[in-house]
Amino acid sequence: MTQIIKKSVFQNSHVDTWIQEVIQLCQPQSVWWCDGSEAEKQTLTEKALAEGELVSKHGKNVINEEALPGCFLHRSAPNDVARVEKLTFICTQNEADAGPLNQWMAPQEAYEKLGAIFKGCMQGKTLYVIPFLMGPQGSELARVGIQVTDSPYVVLNMRIMTRMGQPAWDTLGTTDAFTRCLHAKADLSMDRRFICHFPEDNTVWSVGSGYGGNALLGKKCMALRIGSYLGQQQGWLAEHMLIIGIENPEGKIHYVAAAFPSQCGKTNLSMLLPPEALKGYKIWTVGDDIAWLAPGPDGRLWAINPEAGFFGVAPGTSEKTNPSALQMVQHDTIFTNVALTSDGKVWWEGLGEAPQEAQDWQGKDWTPQSTS
How far apart are alpha carbons 88 and 119 in whole angstroms?
A: 20
Give the span between the Cα atoms of 337 and 80, in whole angstroms. Answer: 11
Q: Are 336 and 362 in contact (CB under 8 A)?
A: no
Whose CA is closest to 135, among 110, 97, 164, 107?
164
Sequence length of the chain is 372
According to DSSP, the residues that pair with 118 across neighbouring strands are none
Active-site residue list: 264
Residue type at position 66: E
- Half-sphere exposure of 225 toward its Cβ, with a 13 Å CA cutoff? 34
Measured in degrees and rounded to the nearest 5, phi and psi for residue 245 equal -110, 135
| Angle, in degrees to the nearest 10, between helices 152-161 and 38-51 | 140
88 phi/psi in degrees, rounded to 5: -105, 130
Q: State which amino acid sits at residue 290.
A: I
Contacts of the segment 363-370: beta carbons below 8 A, 24+ positions apart: 363/55, 363/75, 366/339
Contact 117, 192 (CB under 8 A): yes
